[in-house]
Amino acid sequence: MKTLSLRAKIFEKYDEFSLLENKTEKDILRTEIKTMLAKYSEMDSNCYHLLGLVDYESDDWKENIETSIGNFQKAIELDKDNFLAQLYLAHCYHDLNQLKLALENYNKVDREKLKKFQVWRYTKLIEQIGYCQYKLENKYIGEQHFEEVLEWYKKLPEIDRVVPSELIECLPKNHRIITEMKKIETYLE
């Protein structure tokens, strides 16, 4: 029972951490979470995923990216169904501009589970796959993914949409998809 209590406290601390914006407070909580996890004797996939996140979600994430990658990989190794760890592993490679590895890992994410979890993350995943394809000179495939993102934006409520930054970065400003996206997302004008 004591272990369960510690686990609950760790995840409670992470929830608090994820909402903080003050760097100093966030750094203190990051250290607390890592210390608590070091004491936790039953490290599972979710614990390693959490370790990856606390470093990834830091101002100095570039210094800790290899540690985050290792923790996300360990989380996946312990639970192949941990689709969020898989997604964040892909994000790490994306942020490092290792687009082939990012694409490989984005394609391993269980899309149905992600869509059920948060549809905005699902549409962002499709956009990120499109971005990787486009930047890897597979522009036609990239545009097909961007088209799918556009179709989702047409039917999603505003709360379930995020800024289509990768799509905007890739396509010319006068591209049909961009023009239609601007009709939906008026802030893009």
User: Where are the domains positioned within the chain?
Assistant: 1-82, 110-189
Task: Kindly indicate the confidence band of residue 145, based on its pLDDT and cuts at 50, 70 and 90.
Answer: very high
What gap in Å lies between CA 71 and CA 79, rounded to an integer? 12
**Higher confidence at residue 86 or residue 1?**
86
* Least confident stretch, 53-62, 74-83, 165-174: 53-62
pLDDT for position 38: 87
pTM for this predicted structure: 0.91
The answer to whether residue 1 scores a pLDDT higher than 50 is no
Using one digit for the tens of pLDDT, what is the confidence trace for 96-144?
999 999 999 999 999 999 999 999 999 999 999 999 999 999 999 999 9
pLDDT for position 171: 97
**3-class secondary structure per residue, the chain:** CHHHHHHHHHHHHHHHHHHCCCHHHHHHHHHHHHHHHHHCCCCCHHHHHHHHHHHHCCCCHHHHHHHHHHHHHHHHHHCCCCHHHHHHHHHHHHHCCCHHHHHHHHCCCCHHHHHHHCHHHHHHHHHHHHHHHHHCCCHHHHHHHHHHHHHHHHHCCHHHCCCCHHHHHHCCCCCHHHHHHHHHCHHHC
Task: Kindly indicate the confidence band of residue 173, based on its pLDDT and cuts at 50, 70 and 90.
Answer: very high
Cβ atoms within 10 Å of 183's Cβ, excluding its own? 11
